[in-house]
Structure 1
């Protein structure tokens, strides 16, 4: 059995060895006798051999490879299934342990949606192989209409918004996050400057501001939150008959939607089941500082929810699933985004909850996987690197003993994960996750959250 090198284990926690038996496999191997899940073509490619060199897939063939003749380590796939690594398009991660937690559940890339400077450093370290975990795309701090709000960059005028976009573009963030409460002038200014700089932008809420038509937001990387269709254009009204018109307007933008059903599902269950649901939540996945904030500002509220509020939450959540299904049927691409790191939502596990909720909303397994792979890769402009298992793509994929199309839950604790050509068995992933959680640092997270402010 292979163990992770200390230089990679130091990733999250400083260093000291993960195990006394440290022997890297390297970033090349041959995986034979596997079935490849071809999400784009909604098919299974049977009995394949995948060759990985220098972190890339270099061939996919029907030929088995003899251990005696192979020039790379050979892994026997035993008729298992290989699925593209999952992409979570909406996370909040302020500790190094989160990068390993997500990877341990087959999430090989994440988009961080409220950036701080330290995340840029971690992004680059993962890409350079100096830190282990999911690779990442990092948004700017939220550009919003809130002046003085923590982790927000408040703007009021078009020029202030343009200046903010220039600032975060210059600092190396991958995209700009625009909030739903921006004034019309500020939103127009930010969008114009982002387009001038060719800087991707994602918007909290699939709607514009003031009198600005939503069609003016064409070309954004994504819209966030199905909930904001209910809260925005529908003004908190359960009016499904209006969805067709709203969806038609959104479709003109050619912008995909990240529904983020997971958080509203979690608060609904918390309000309904209260302490019983809280006890089922894996608290060790949530950092102390986030748990403290959530408990003070969110959890207590839902633990005391009335029966009337519970009924309202359940009705609202069912409507959010209807919105999600309607958007999908309307031809707007969906993206998987869990909003993990919010409201005690566990990194990695929340991604799978989101996928399950999308399937419960009416998507089939291939459509859910498309939202978590090819759709998300395309939105990121990485459709030739990740999200698909093909020659030339990054060797980021999940190995399971059984077919995930029959049961997506087999992806939650996969038998192995390949990331950048490194092969991690289930045991190694568990060991890395446990080590990361055990050695997390409250004070490091304080420094990450407040040090750059």
Structure 2
């Protein structure tokens, strides 16, 4: 009897629900692919994906469509942040973090996810989270239990013993789990497989030291070439992209030789390394806003003098490297390291990208079409185009003239559903 009931339930769950049709209108649409602005756009979506894009009066609205009229606003695709840590809070930095259990960070991730999607970022790549917190957030968002962006999770960042991704704040007599640590090619290969098993969709590893770790030199390489080669080979074999945290020049070069898809930070890349990245087609994801926040708020938030000194060493140089890499033709994506500064403020970086060489349209493409390409998800996100998710944001004005408009998103539609409307 129980088996028959279970079979019936499964059959009922396989019956598709009636398709919902949505028509989204606005005053203007910025087409990120062409760089052109269209007046009076109309977007039709069925079950969360776009089926038609045209102009009001030229494209028919289906009779059963639910209308979302965004009024006298400009629409563009939902934004993509390629480098976030949703289960981090910058106001609890340094040793303060040790006062809280792992479950706390997953819990606050629910609030950070809402701040992120409300800021217009409908897709994020979460490149490091303890306790598989980003997997929990992803599943809760996909069930509709909490609001938030689409998450491409890395789970734990992989690091070498004593490196940037290790926990170096406690003396030897105190022990804690270090699930992301692996040394040597065989252990690294196993770690990639393990993270993939538990839900990772991208692999992030620490190729060099970093700013916010203790006891690491910011530029020092922390994995050998052989270790990086194995990591990238295994991840690619499993269908995953690879992101390398790398500030130092030697580590960036080794990561590029290994075939990583994106280099995070890329602060100290020299001209030779920039040319390597251009030739290899490696993407740079450079968090060039958060220097302002770290130096203004870091001490109050609990960062150690060592961390602040390293930020002072690298902040300006990273922005200069960004400018040189962009001029040289390196492929660039939008990645903020949100979690090092407050979630929801992701769009503050657009102005820095413009200040250091991009046009507003370039910066927007870095967070839309280019980010989607780097993710390998051009069919899903990054454009208002047929086949993509109906992820759409609205601003009051022309963001190609004033990129700071992206700091004040008036409405957010995700998958054809309004998740924010403050008009």
Question: Where in structure 2 are there 5+ consecutive unaligned residues?
Answer: 1-18, 88-108, 168-176, 208-221
CA displacement, residues 249-280 of structure 1 (integer Å, 9 cap, x when unaligned): 12232110110112223223448xx8xxx7xx
Other-structure match for 1:127: 142
The number of equivalent residue pairs is: 357
- For residues 406 and 326 of structure 2, the distance between their equivalents in structure 1, rounded to whole angstroms, comes to 23
Are the aligned partners of 2:371 and 2:382 in contact in 1 as well (CA < 8 Å)? yes
- Structure 1 pair 175/316, CA: closer, same or farther in 2 (3 Å)? closer
Aligned-pair Cα RMSD in Å: 3.0
Structure 1 consecutive aligned stretches of length 4 or more whose deviation exceeds 4 Å: 65-70, 206-215
TM-score between both structures, scaled by the size of structure 1? 0.71
Q: How has the CA–CA distance of structure 1 residues 35 and 200 changed in structure 2, closer, same or farther, with 3 Å as cutoff?
A: same
Determine whether 1:106 maps to 2:133: no
- For residue 342 of structure 2, the aligned residue among 322, 342, 346 is 346
- Name the residue aligned to 2:322: 324
Judge conservation of contact 2:82–2:333 (CA < 8 Å) in 1.
yes
Q: Distance in 2 between matches of 1:151 and 1:200?
A: 23
Among 367, 382, 397, the residue aligned to 1:372: 367
* Contact map agreement 2:244 2:262 (CA 8 A) in 1: yes
Q: Which residue of 2 aligns with 1:247?
A: 274
Distance of 1:209 and 1:318 partners within structure 2:
19
Q: Determine helix, strand or coil for the equivalent of 2:373.
A: helix
Q: Does 1:143 align with 2:138?
A: no
Secondary structure of 1:378's aligned partner: helix
Deviations, residues 25-73 of structure 1 (Å, cap 9, x unaligned): x964322243211112111122211122211122112234999984223
Greater per-residue helix proportion: 1
Instruction: Tell me the equivalent position of 1:34.
Output: 27
**1:213-228 pair list within 5 angstroms:** 213-218=254-259, 220-227=260-267
Determine the C-alpha separation between the residues in 2 that align with 1:401 and 1:212.
Answer: 43
Using the TM superposition, give the Cα deviation of residue 139 of structure 1 relative to its aligned residue in structure 2, in angstroms: 0.5
Q: Aligned partners of 1:338, 1:30: CA distance in 2, in Å? A: 32
Change (3 A) 1:152 1:323: farther
What are the within-5 Å matches in structure 2 for residues 19-58 of structure 1?
A: 28-58=21-51
Unaligned runs of 5+ in 1: 1-25, 234-242, 279-294, 429-453
Matches within 5 A, 1:26-425: 28-64=21-57, 70-94=63-87, 95-115=109-129, 116-146=131-161, 149=167, 153-180=180-207, 181-205=222-246, 213-218=254-259, 220-227=260-267, 230=268, 243-270=270-297, 295-298=301-304, 313=312, 316-342=314-340, 345-349=341-345, 351-425=346-420
- 1:202–1:68 Cα change, 3 Å: closer
CA contact (8 A) 1:34 1:49 kept: no
Distance 1:72 1:196, change over 3 A: closer
